[in-house]
Structure 1
Amino acid sequence: MRRIKSVQVRHQYTLLQCFYWVSSCAIMGFATVFLQYRGLSNTLVGMSIGGAAFISIWMQPFLAGVVEKVRGLSLKKMILLIILAVTAGYLFLGLVPLPKMAIVGVYLVLNTLYNSITPLITAMGMEYMNQGYEVNFCISRGLGSVSYAVSAVVLGQLVEHFFPGILTFAFAGMEILLFTVVVSMQEPESSVVKEEQEPSSSVIEILKGNRPLLLFVAGFGICYMTSSILGTYMINIVRELGGTDGTFGIAAFFCAASEMPAMFLCNYLIRKVSCKKLLKLSSVFFVLRPLVIFLAPNLAVAFLGFALQSLSFGIFTPVSVFFINQELKEKDRVVGQTIFGMVTVGVGSCVGNLAGGFLMDRIGLKTTLGLCVILAAVGFLITQRVRVEETGPRRRILQIESSRAEKKE
C-alpha cells in the first residue's frame, strides 16, 4: 500500500511541475510579447516584471513563514489560494481595457504572486522526499522544462496566427488543470503538523551561519540579473536578428528543452560530484551564454547561446535544491529554498529587468548585452570563492534513500 501511494505521489508531483511550467510560460515567458501588445515600452515592461521580482524579495519569505507558523495552513492550501487569485486577475487584465500604469500595477501583483509558487512547489517536493516518497525532483523538474518548451512553440504559433491576447485564455485553461492536480494531492506531513516543529531560523541567521550559501546567493543573484535580461527581452534579440514572434516561440523551446538532459542526469551527477562543484560549474555557463548571444551574427549562433541554458540554469535549478536540503537543518529548509529564490529570482530578476528595459531604450540592445557579459563574470568570480569539500552531498542522499528503504519495510 505504501508503495502504491508513493508512486501516486510521484506522478502527481510530476504533473504539478508540468502544468505549473506550462502556465508559467503563458504568464511570464511571453510577458514581454503580451505587455508590448498592450502598448508598454521596454522600460514599462521592465518596471512590470522587475517590480514584481522586487516585491517577491519580501513576499516569498513572508509566505514561507506564514506556511511554517500558521496552524492549518499548508503548502498545498497556499498554492491553491495563489492559483485562484492569479487566474482571476489575469483574466481581468486580458479582458478589461486599462491605462498603461494600471496594466503595470495589475501585472506586477499577478507576477509577484505567481513567482511565489515556485519555492513552495520545490519545498513540497523536498518534504515528500524527506518522508520517504519516491519523488524524483530532477526528473519532475526536467519534465516541467520539457512542458514549458513545448508550450512555448505552441503559444508562439498561436500568438503569430491570432493575437497576443489569446495568452490570457491559454493561461486560464492551464490553471484549471493545475488546480485539479493540486487538489488531488495529499498533504506532506511536515506541512500540516506545525505544533511539533522547532521554530525556523530567520533569513539573517541562516545566511550568517552558512558562508557557502551566502556566497552562492550573492554570486547567482548577479548571474540571474543577466539571465533575466536575456529571458525577458529575448523577443528583442530574435527580432533584431530577423526573427518573428513564431521564431521567439522556437527560441523559448530551445532554452527550456535544453535544460532537460542536465535535470534528468541530476541524481546521477550529485552522486559523483558535490553540489558545490556542480554549482560552481554552472556559473561558468552563466558567463558563456550571454557571451555567445552578444557575439552572435545570426539566429543560428544565437540559438546555440540560448541552448547553453542547459549547462547554466539546467544544472543550477535542481542542484541548488539539493544543496539547500544538504546544508540546512530540517526546520530551515523551506525558508532556505525561499532565500535562494528570493535573491536569484527576486533581487536578480528585479534589477535585471528594471535595468535591462531602461538600458535598451537608451543605449540599445548590443551594448546592454555586453554589460550582461561583464555582470555574469562578476557573479562567476563570487561563486568561485566557495570552498569545496570532497565529501559532497552523498551522505545526505544516502540518508534519504535509507529512510525510504526503512519506510518500505
Structure 2
Amino acid sequence: MNLTYRYSAIQFTHWASSTGAAVFATTYLLDKGIHSGVVGVLLALAGICSCLTQPVLASFADRTEKFVLTQMMIIMSALCGVCFILQLIPGIPVMLMAVFYMVGIWSSDTMVPLLNSISVAYNDAGYFVNYGAARGVGAVASAMSSLIVGWVIVKFGITWMLILLLAVRLGSVIVLVGFPQIEQSRLLVREEQKSLSIYEFFIHYRWYCISLLGIAFLGMFHAMTENYLIVIMNALGGNSSHVGIALFIEGAVAAPAIFFYYKIRKLSSDTNLLKVAAVSFLIKAVGFYFAGNITTVYLLEVLQISSYALLAPAQVYYAKEKVKANDMIKGQAFMTAAYALGCSAGNFAGGQLLNWGVSAMLGAGIVMALAGTVLVFVTVTKKDAENCRKLTKIL
C-alpha cells in the first residue's frame, strides 16, 4: 500500500504551520512589545526544551512494545493547536502569550524526529513511503507559508497569523488520525540488537555524536539569520513582506532539490552531500555579512538549494546509515535535537548580538558556519565501533 500521499499531507501541514510560527516568531513577539534580548532568550528556551525532550520521547518510542509514533504526533499537534487558541483570548498578559507561543514552537520542533521516523517505520512494515518526495512537499509548504503568512501580517495584522496557523495544525491532526495501525517492528531480538540506553548510545556512536556538533553549528547560523531576518531586512529598508518573499525564494529553490533527493543521492554519498551543504552555509554566511541591499539577500537565498535543501534529507539518511535499526528513532532524535540546540543557541546569540548591531550578528554567523563546516568535514566519514555492548561493559 502506498502511503506517500498521506505522509506528504502530514509533511505539508506540519511544515506549513511550523515554518510560519518559527520564522515569524521574532516579528510576532516584537510586535507585542517584547525586547529583542528577551525574544532571543524565549526562542532559545523553546529550542533547549525540544532538545531535552526529543531523545526522551524517542527512547520511549524505541523501547515500547506498541507502535506509538502516530499517537504521539497527534498529542503534540493538538497541544500546538491549543497554544494558538489560548493566545487568542482577549486580555491575555503579553508574557503569558509569549510563553504559549514558545510552547507551540517547542511542540512543533519535538515532532520532527517522530515525523521522520514514521516514514522508516511504515516502510519497514511493508508500506511504501517516498520520504524525499514527501519532504519536498513539506518544503513547498514552508515556502508557501512564508509568503502567505508574511502577506497576512502586513494586510490583516498579526492575530490572523495565529488563526491561519491554527487551521493548518488542525489539518495535521485530521491526517494523522487516518493512518493505518501497524505492529512495532521489534519483537524478540538478540542482546546486541536491543535498543541502547541514551548513555550507551553516546558511548557507541561517538563519531556520530561528534558530527552532530557540526550540524548544531550550522543550525545555529541558519536559525539566527532566519529568525532575525526581519531585523536584517529592516536595516536594509525592508519589512515583513520582504521577509516573506525571501523565505518564499528559499522554499521555492529548495523544494525540487528535496523532492528529487533520492535521485541526487545516487550521484553522490549522503556524507559528501552533507559537506556540500556545509560549504554552502559558509558561503551564505559570508554573503550575508557583505550584503548591501535587499536584492542581494534575495540572491543569497538561492543558496538554499545546496545548503538546507541538501542538509534536511541528507541528515535523515545519514542517521539511518550510521545508527542501527533498533536505535533508529533515537538516532533521528539526536540529529534533530542537535540541529534544534544549534537553533536555540543561534536564537539566543542573535538576540544578544543585536545589542552591538546587525553587523556583529552577521560576523558571528560566519564563525558559526565555519565551525560547522570544519566539524562536518572531519567527522562524517568516521566509523564507530561495531560491538557496543562489549564497549559499554569495558567502560
Q: TM-score normalized by structure 1?
A: 0.88
How many angstroms apart in 1 are the aligned matches of 2:376 and 2:110?
25
Structure 2 counterpart of 1:137: 131
Structure 1 counterpart of 2:377: 384
Structure 2 counterpart of 1:221: 216
Structure 1 counterpart of 2:339: 344
The answer on whether the counterparts of 1:259 and 1:313 sit within 8 Å (CA) in structure 2 is yes
The answer on whether the counterparts of 2:30 and 2:39 sit within 8 Å (CA) in structure 1 is yes
How many angstroms apart in 2 are the aligned matches of 1:270 and 1:54?
32
Question: What's the CA shift string for 1:300-340, capped at 9, x where partnerless?
Answer: 11112222122111101101111111221110000000000
Structure 2 counterpart of 1:14: 8
Structure 1 residues not aligned, in runs of 5+: 1-5, 390-409
The answer on whether the counterparts of 2:78 and 2:170 sit within 8 Å (CA) in structure 1 is no
Structure 2 counterpart of 1:182: 176
CA pair 205-377 structure 1, distance change in 2 beyond 3 A? same
Match of residue 68, structure 1, among 62, 86, 107: 62
How many angstroms apart in 2 are the aligned matches of 1:114 and 1:96?
24
How many angstroms apart in 1 are the aligned matches of 2:264 and 2:150?
34
After TM superposition, the structure 1 = structure 2 runs for residues 37-52 of structure 1, keeping only pairs within 5 Å, are: 37-52=31-46
Structure 1 counterpart of 2:351: 357
Are 1:105 and 2:99 an aligned pair? yes
Structure 1 counterpart of 2:201: 206
Structure 2 residues not aligned, in runs of 5+: 383-395
Are 1:89 and 2:83 an aligned pair? yes
For residue 207 of structure 1, report the CA deviation from its aligned partner. 3.4
Are 1:303 and 2:293 an aligned pair? no
How many angstroms apart in 1 are the aligned matches of 2:205 and 2:187?
27
Are 1:274 and 2:269 an aligned pair? yes
How many angstroms apart in 2 are the aligned matches of 1:188 and 1:119?
18
Identity across the alignment (%):
24
The answer on whether the counterparts of 2:80 and 2:169 sit within 8 Å (CA) in structure 1 is no
Structure 1 counterpart of 2:307: 312
For residue 73 of structure 1, report the CA deviation from its aligned partner. 5.9
Question: What's the CA shift string for 1:14-52, capped at 9, x where partnerless?
Answer: 111011111112322221121112211211211221110
How many angstroms apart in 2 are the aligned matches of 1:267 and 1:29?
27
For residue 363 of structure 1, report the CA deviation from its aligned partner. 0.4
SS of aligned partner of 2:335: helix
Are 1:147 and 2:141 an aligned pair? yes
CA pair 307-152 structure 1, distance change in 2 beyond 3 A? same
Structure 2 counterpart of 1:288: 283
Q: What amino acid does structure 1 have at the position aligned with 2:14?
A: Y
Q: Report the aligned-residue RMSD.
A: 1.9
SS of aligned partner of 2:92: coil
For residue 90 of structure 1, report the CA deviation from its aligned partner. 1.5
Structure 1 counterpart of 2:386: none
The answer on whether the counterparts of 2:133 and 2:258 sit within 8 Å (CA) in structure 1 is yes
The answer on whether the counterparts of 1:293 and 1:306 sit within 8 Å (CA) in structure 2 is no
SS of aligned partner of 2:127: coil
Structure 2 counterpart of 1:403: none
For residue 110 of structure 1, report the CA deviation from its aligned partner. 2.2
Question: What's the CA shift string for 1:36-87, capped at 9, x where partnerless?
Answer: 1221121121122111001111111111122233454600000111111111
For residue 211 of structure 1, report the CA deviation from its aligned partner. 4.3
Structure 1 counterpart of 2:363: 370
Structure 1 counterpart of 2:29: 35
Q: TM-score normalized by structure 2?
A: 0.91
Are 1:324 and 2:315 an aligned pair? no
SS of aligned partner of 1:273: coil
